[in-house]
Amino acid sequence: MKPWKTLSRHTILEHSKYLTVENHEIELPDGTIIPDWPWIITPDFVNVIAVSYEGKFLCFRQTKYAIEGVTIAPVGGYIEDNEDPLVAAKRELLEETGYEASQWIHLGSFCLMPNRNKAIGHSYLARDAKYVKPPDSDDLEEQELLLLDQNELEKILLQGEIKVSSWANTVALALLRLKSKEG
Amino acid sequence: MKPWKTLSRHTILEHSKYLTVENHEIELPDGTIIPDWPWIITPDFVNVIAVSYEGKFLCFRQTKYAIEGVTIAPVGGYIEDNEDPLVAAKRELLEETGYEASQWIHLGSFCLMPNRNKAIGHSYLARDAKYVKPPDSDDLEEQELLLLDQNELEKILLQGEIKVSSWANTVALALLRLKSKEG
């Protein structure tokens, strides 16, 4: 299986550190040329589903600009320049919840838009989390911290209340992994 | 919890049916104004994890432009204008694999980018799938159909070989749901 070739690329929108758009000229394996393939550049990010040493999962009830109503969300945020994903994950957990975790499991690293965006979301399960200090979040949204049992979290997930695919994926992978260890 | 208000919006890039970018002026609940929030418009899509009446899960091994190497993928594609998501899911399954399924379970509908994109991916589990005619896909990528046992699929998922969050989420939710019915 051959990858597509990028013949040329040029920037068509430079908005901010949150968004740049390029136009790519692409050659397919059969020689077909696509002259105007849009390519979206957005920052990499992390998602963390943390579980406390008492077995409580840390989630937020929050609003987001692109979402109708409220959603349940794991911890998450953008990776800073040159920051290691695991360092970003630990930083976000501490900033948003005030918890630190001793055991970190990488659940996978995933692309959002496989056709036109290379941004990667790194998903983690953080176990044995303990509250160490008050949270200090720079998030713009209103949010409320919830401490959920595993069964409650699975019910919320399967009912579609975690409304973002990268978030639901992080929680679903953590639950599958925990079940496969129990089984 | 109060949502953010859109005070004004204007188009800053009109690329094609695959991408429009707007600039939004936003008011937060505390009165703060953000004058330049980028907003990305891309098409809604469906993802389908189908399982045959013999218990084999239908996946592709394929390349995608934004992904390094190969990835395992469920069936999926863009929803056409005014098309119902379930109709799109059935169409994509038939076009890409030549299978039809008698039992369709909606696993959820998810946002890709909760800050700046309202595109929704609708996830389905299609059960009791049967081969009815040769596939007729308009996909541009090279791909190879795989028929996987449930254990093989779970192993592939947990090893991170499904490299797109909406795809991995669809498969993980299907496996969790099948396990919770078994359990």
Contact check, Cβ <8 Å, B3/A118: no
Q: Check pLDDT > 70 for residue B183.
A: no
Residues A114, A132: one domain? Answer: yes
Residues B13, B102: one domain? Answer: no
Count structural domains, chain A.
2
Residues A159, A88: one domain? Answer: yes
> What pLDDT score was predicted for residue A137?
78
Residues A26, A68: one domain? Answer: no
For the residues B129-133, what does the mean pLDDT come to? Answer: 96
Residues A62, A27: one domain? Answer: no
Residues A112, A87: one domain? Answer: yes
Closest residue of chain A to B68, computed from CA coordinates: A3
Domain that holds residue B22: 5-41
Residues B166, B151: one domain? Answer: yes
pTM of the model: 0.96
More confident residue, B180 or B67: B67
Contact check, Cβ <8 Å, A166/B165: yes
Q: Check pLDDT > 80 for residue B85.
A: yes
More confident residue, A81 or B139: A81
Q: Check pLDDT > 60 for residue A183.
A: no
Contact check, Cβ <8 Å, B21/A13: yes
Contacts of A142 in chain B (CB under 8 A): 1-2, 29
Asked which of A77-91, B136-150, B166-180 is least confident by mean pLDDT, the reply is B136-150
Residues A178, A160: one domain? Answer: yes
Domain with residue A84: its CATH number is 3.90.79.10
For the residues A54-64, what does the mean pLDDT come to? Answer: 96
Q: What phi and psi, each to the nearest 5 degrees, are found at residue A117?
A: -160, 125
Nearest CB partner across the interface for A163, out of B64, B67, B111: B111
> What pLDDT score was predicted for residue B112?
94
Residues A76, A117: one domain? Answer: yes
Q: What is the dihedral of CA B60, B65, B69, B71, to 10 degrees?
A: -30
Q: Check pLDDT > 90 for residue A2.
A: no
Distance CA B117, CA B135 (A): 32
Residues B176, B134: one domain? Answer: yes
- The ipTM, to two decimals, is 0.96
Distance CA B68, CA B73 (A): 14
| pLDDT tens figures, B22-57 | 999 999 999 999 999 999 999 999 999 999 999 999
Residues B36, B67: one domain? Answer: no
Contacts of A65 in chain B (CB under 8 A): 3-4, 26, 37, 114-116
List C-alpha distances in Å: A156 to A49, A151, A167. Answer: 14, 9, 12
Please, which residues bridge with residue A24 across strands?
A9, A37
Contact check, Cβ <8 Å, B115/A66: yes
Distance CA B78, CA B93 (A): 12
Residues B115, B150: one domain? Answer: yes
